[in-house]
A and B are shown apart, each in its own frame.
Chain A
Amino acid sequence: MKFSNVILQSAAKVLVFIIMIYSIYILFAGHNNPGGGFIGGLITASAFTLLYLAFDVETVRDIIPLDFKIVGAIGVMLALLTGLASVLLGDNFLFQYYEYVNLPLLGKTGLGTAFVFDLGVYMAVVGTTMTIIRSISEDE
């Protein structure tokens, strides 16, 4: 008996977007509010897991054609490169630059290199969690 449920699938189609938007909000809110890369990555991974619960493995692979091992590796590389960039500019390893910039649509916004580090943590967490879940669920 193949499990397919119309109610779960159509609910998942709506809910995945809400969860993804909220995880990206959490990722950006990390500097001044509760949140950050780790919890944002876990929320994104839970959205992907909801897709896996509602649809087939093949369907989800078509929707998200990502190799999550590579996503995790890129995340760790990003975190390392933000540390090395400050060394190249003559400061300590992982020195944080923070500046207020006038962006065209958002106005005065604080941009820090800590966000790039957080993005690296986010991608590493998404990659690790989805690799674990995929490798457990595909075992036959």
Chain B
Amino acid sequence: MTKIAEILLGVVVLLGAIIAVISALGLIRLQDVYLRSHAATKSATLGVLFILSGVFLYFWIFQHHFSLKLLLGILFVFLTSPVAGHLNARAAYRSGVALWKGSVKDALKETAQNERREGEQKNR
């Protein structure tokens, strides 16, 4: 029983580490800010969640210590990381960072231009 748990926990933590490496590769290889933030937000969060839940299960099964702090950490990372990604991408779009040249459609373009025009009129 403990042998199976050991192997499973090893697989979970290793999977988390591999997903984190994939996310780092995505940061290097992808073309513009938005694609990179897509890679950084999703897979890095999933990797951290895998590693944290592996640690949580390890402490629970082998040390008989139910760590509420780790559960809170899992919940916290799960809640904050997507919001941070959203804010990054939004700030990049609003400060006018261009999309990758291969992208097909920019559905936000008109709204952003109108907003910028309104802002300039207010500043005058």
Interface residues of A (CB under 8 A from B): 1, 5, 7-8, 11, 14-15, 18, 22
In the complex, B90 has a CB within 8 A of chain A: yes
Min CB–CB distance B91 → chain A (angstroms): 10
Q: Are A7 and B86 in contact (CB under 8 A)?
A: yes
Which of the four size classes fits the interface of chain B? Answer: 10 to 19
User: Which residues of chain A have C-beta atoms less than 8 A from B11's C-beta?
Assistant: none
Min CB–CB distance B93 → chain A (angstroms): 13
Q: Which of B1-9, B16-24, B75-83, B99-107 contacts A (4 or more CB under 8 A)?
A: B75-83
Residue among A1, A14, A15 with the most chain B CB within 10 A?
A1
Cα distance A107–B13 in the bound complex, in angstroms: 38
Cα distance A5–B86 in the bound complex, in angstroms: 10
Asked, given contacts A18-B72, A22-B72, whether A5 binds B87 with beta carbons under 8 Å apart, the answer is yes
Min CB–CB distance A38 → chain B (angstroms): 19
Name the contact of A8 in the complex, choosing from B75, B87, B122 (C-beta under 8 A). B87
Pairs A–B under 8 Å by Cβ, sample size 24 = A1-B115, A1-B118, A1-B119, A1-B122, A5-B87, A5-B90, A7-B83, A7-B86, A7-B87, A8-B83, A8-B86, A8-B87, A11-B79, A11-B80, A11-B83, A14-B79, A15-B76, A15-B79, A15-B80, A18-B72, A18-B75, A18-B76, A18-B79, A22-B72
User: Which residues of chain A have C-beta atoms less than 8 A from B90's C-beta?
Assistant: 5
Min CB–CB distance B123 → chain A (angstroms): 9
Considering only residues 64-90 of chain B, those with a C-beta below 8 Å from chain A are: 72, 75-76, 79-80, 83, 86-87, 90
User: Which residues of chain A have C-beta atoms less than 8 A from B115's C-beta?
Assistant: 1
Cα distance A18–B71 in the bound complex, in angstroms: 12
Which B residue's beta carbon lies closest to that of A12?
Answer: B83
Which A residue's beta carbon lies closest to that of B115?
Answer: A1
Cα distance A18–B75 in the bound complex, in angstroms: 10
